[in-house]
Amino acid sequence: MSTYIHYTNEQKERARSTDLADLLQRQGEQLKRSGKEYQWRDGSNKVTIRGNLWYHQYEEVGGDAIDFVRRFYNKDYPEAMEYLLNGYGGTLTAAPPIEKDIKEFELPKRNDNMRRVYAYLLHHRGLSRDVVYAFAHKQMIYESLPHHNAVFVGYDTEGIARHAHKRGSGSQSTYKGNADGSIPEFSFHWNGSSNKIFLFEAPIDMLSYISMNPHEWQKNSYAASCSVSDRVLFQCLKDNPNIKEVYLCFDNDEAGQTAAKRISDKLFTQGYKSEILTPTHKDWNEDLIIFQKDGDLQWTTHLY
């Protein structure tokens, strides 16, 4: 059993704020300057470094200096703290990659009714009854057992379920997560016939936007990445060559808007017209709830 070590808030902040470019260069690692950032290679994958922060472009995860040492050098928390607080004395040796068990995808068990999920989505979240029923009719939303989560299902082009995002249906619940084995390229999405697609972070945000813009909504395509990833977007573009215009509808916070700009730049290089739609408040569901109270919202758009 490891010994518990107490660290002060000042020590935690000092370790967390370590400049990663300096750390890596002292380790003899090769970095490539890119504006205010650096690029470092984790094998064949690119990792962006900015000050004490990092972002793995392939795995689409990131963190601070403590997370970096733990993730890339396979250290536990006390080992990472000791290394960073002691001026990274000694040599870090990257551990060999750990092969992760790949679990087979399986949909959560289905309840025989959707009473709790309907109550949560329609009354607590304020979603349009017609919109929710349209997705439930296609078996894209259901209630699970034994936890009564709302399950948002994504299918591939053959109609086979490949992704399931779970959201707690209790009014105070904050639980959310993807079922083991879910394939990000096929997260919750709707294929329409028009040349437009709208990308969101979460299924409830996607359904909130549709609830506020219901006119012939079925003609457009929509997708929820269940993250700030672009993998489902580019899968939809591949499967629907009719799509020419992309609307990026991520949360109104730093993570969401940074991701939207990143994806917009990527789309530009591939010849797609994109526009960033920003909710007035934190996210589209918050906008929907306030819209239902006063009916007056203006969304911010940025054309790229």
pLDDT, one tens digit per residue, over 249-261 is: 999 988 889 889 9
Q: Using a CB cutoff of 8 Å and minimum separation of 24, what contacts does 10-15 make?
A: 11/81, 11/85, 12/66, 12/81, 14/84, 14/85, 15/65, 15/66, 15/80, 15/81, 15/84, 15/85
Name the class of domain 115-303.
alpha beta
∠ Cα 26 32 37 (to 5°): 95
Whether the per-residue pLDDT at 93 is higher than 80: the answer is: no
Q: What residues pair up with 181 in beta bridges, in sequence order?
A: none
∠ Cα 77 78 80 (to 5°): 65
Q: Give the pLDDT of residue 74.
A: 83
CA distance 137 to 133: 6
Whether the per-residue pLDDT at 41 is higher than 90: the answer is: no
Amino acid in the structure at residue 271: G
Whether the per-residue pLDDT at 89 is higher than 90: the answer is: no
Average pLDDT estimate for 80-106? 71
Average pLDDT estimate for 179-194? 95
Provide the residue ranges of all domains of the chain, joining segments of one domain with +: 9-85, 115-303
Lowest mean pLDDT across 48-57, 117-126, 291-300:
291-300
Residues 6+ apart with CB under 8 A from 110: 142, 143, 144, 145, 151
CA distance 60 to 47: 9
CA distance 132 to 138: 10
The answer, as to whether pTM is greater than 0.75, is no
CB of 220 closer than 8 Å to CB of 197: yes
CA distance 30 to 65: 18
Percentage of residues in the chain having pLDDT higher than 70: 90
CA distance 102 to 292: 43
Amino acid in the structure at residue 220: N
Q: How far is CA 115 from the centre of its chain?
A: 28
Could you tell me which CATH number the domain at 9-85 has?
3.90.580.10
∠ Cα 115 117 118 (to 5°): 65
User: Which has the higher per-residue pLDDT, 287 or 4?
Assistant: 287
